[in-house]
Amino acid sequence: MNRLNVGAMVTALLLLVGLSSCASDTTRSADHESSQWVGQAAGSSSHDAYAGIPNGEIENAGGDVDFLWDAKDPYYGYKKYPIVARAHIDSIDGGRTYSPISNQYVFPQTVGRMTIREVYKGSINSGDQLNYSRLGGIVTFDDYWSSLNQSQRDKMLNRNGGQKPTAKKYVHEKFIDDIDIEVGKEYVVFLIPQSAKDGTLSEYSISGFQYGLREAKGTGAVTTVLNNENKTWESLGSFVKLP
């Protein structure tokens, strides 16, 4: 197994105010229960909710996470995840810090809609339009603050003279070495189906970080997929088992 160069702590680097906050995993606790979003509710199509946010209002943050990946086995991801497919990203509907699937605060996520082009493994069909979620996203600083537990807030307050940071309106937080999802592109994705306990919402988590979101181009036997590690294009069959 290769371990990414990461630690057990997720670290948000709030550069302008010289602060940092830590979370022990991708789930966070806080003191209220409403869903936190940047953008529109899921269900809209063919738009990018992040596109209208000025770059100057976004604080970029990075984090580390323990994550194992067997680089010696090219089919590791294909075997690990229950669904493998090629998907067109129809929309980014926003970012959230509270998941209606788990009913708890989480590391920022991006949510939207995707259309399945081809299925290589799993119980979905070509042509399905599905909700997706993915770790890493843009959220308002207020929503980000709400997702932190008191210990994390106290660390930030202590670094900022007892004041809540206000330098930026938004926070863009993702894991180091990961990539951002883009509207209009097609990717080979590793998916995990998820549903809310009350049955009102289902979505598919795009998993595997940069290994589980690989841009695809071409069709059929000549399909190639981007290796996000070395930025080269590889054949689809080099990491997906084809019929």
Long-range Cβ contacts of 126-130 (<8 Å, 24+ apart):
129/90, 130/87, 130/203, 130/204
Give the helix ranges, DSSP H, for the chain.
Answer: 76-80, 141-147, 150-159
pLDDT of residue 28: 57
pLDDT of residue 5: 36
For the cut 50, the answer to whether the pLDDT of residue 155 exceeds it is yes
Encoding tokens for residue 72?
């010696």
Residues 115-129 pLDDT 10s: 999 999 999 999 999
pLDDT band per the 50, 70, 90 thresholds, residue 68: confident
Residues 24-53 pLDDT 10s: 334 554 443 334 445 544 444 579 999 999
Q: What are the residue ranges spanned by the domains of the chain? A: 2-238
For the cut 90, the answer to whether the pLDDT of residue 10 exceeds it is no
pLDDT of residue 27: 52
For the cut 70, the answer to whether the pLDDT of residue 112 exceeds it is yes
pLDDT of residue 38: 56
pLDDT of residue 62: 78
pLDDT of residue 229: 93
Rounded mean pLDDT, 60-87: 91
Strand ranges (E), 4-128: 10-14, 19-23, 27-28, 37-38, 58-63, 68-69, 83-99, 104-121
